[in-house]
Structure 1
Amino acid sequence: MEWDDATRERLGVALNESDVVGVRLDPAGAFVDVLLHVIALPELGPLVKDGRRIMRLMRPAELRFLLRRDPVGEQSATQPAIPLADEEAVENFFDSLAWGGSIYGWRFFDEPGLTSDWPADPSLRISVRTEGGPHSFYWFNECGVERDGKSEAFCIEGTITFDDLAVFDAEEREIPIETFIADGVRQWDALYAHDERLSVDAQRESQHRAPKWRKWAEGAESAVGPV
């Protein structure tokens, strides 16, 4: 991928309002797979129904995770980090969720200031190699669990430093990075242009029985908003 400012910016736009629902490190440390649900609009036709994507970050250097409670009316930044023992604990947390949210903010790559409110010791740090990576990806999910009939809100965040990235569909067929970016940017352009392909009904149809990475997400309807 060409890491110029314009491409980095467009990639952030394409990822805005996508869901991060899993982070899986290759056992050999060759890559990290970030599981996503994205909103994508092809050049022709309706919104993509199967928005499952794998963003594969090549040659990761370090992964950091921060899990905090996110109580109503309080900032999660005031909450202490909840320890996570290992990668399996991260996976188990994602599996335990009753609901989850989308990333927003338009900029997710090579922005160290996005973790300025993090404590010195996050919930989990995994060092893959000694030398650092030239790029970083920041993600988060404002989410919650149901326990004994009560809801509890959390925010899980993470950063991954890496060398390069590629994107795949749910069957691990590679999607050209420019196609991935263009389909994501196009749906935002269509939204602002009041394109009928982004009507409320069209968005609902794209989410009806749409396949998801997690069982808890299958009943959620994610939409970018009314036209």
Structure 2
Amino acid sequence: MAPPAAAPAAPAAPAPTTWAAPSAPPFGAPSAVAPSPTPAGSASPAGGAYAPPAGYALPAGYGTHAPAPGAPGAPYVGAPGAASAHRPSGRGLGVVAFVLATVVTVGAALGAAISAFAIGLGAGREIAGRPFTADFDWSVLAPVRESVLLAEVSFWLGTALGVWALVQGIIALVKDRGRAWAIAAIVVAALGPIVFFTILQGFLTAGLGAGTGIGG
């Protein structure tokens, strides 16, 4: 009788493997500080819009603040919109200066016309009734004292108010508060004395001619 066959030998158990720590990355351990995000709207080095790297999230409210002056998308200093915000509004200062200059010029000229004709008429009559002399006698103005006073008041009041209108027109022009009205006020106020003395001379001559009978 043949002996029984020997049982096959059990396979050898594999050798236990030992765990080893992963090697360090080639560029060192990753930093725990997130890179500062690129401002919203600016281009990344690759040329596209900025996108945070994988694993990082933008903070809450990022990109909602207004861009600083000079940043992309911010209005440049001196833009028309920014200038108009600080531009003074209203033209009342120039309008008031023009109205004042016009009223003063017309009023002073009217006072000069009335007083000058009355002075010339009264003085002409006195001169015509007296013997002719080479020297001017100021007593011929005695009958027309009120007219002389009116002429003086018209002159000094017109001068004071005319200077006021001139200064206010210059201020309105500098502050750009009704530029066109301010320029018109300056012109009218500057022409006021010329208009006053022209009318005064013309009506005084007409009054003297009517009083002495030379004009008739």
Q: Where on the TM-score scale, by shorter chain, does this alignment land: which range? A: under 0.3
More helix by proportion, 1 or 2?
2
More strand by proportion, 1 or 2?
1
- TM-score computed with the length of structure 1 as normaliser: 0.16
Q: In terms of Rg, which structure is larger?
A: 2
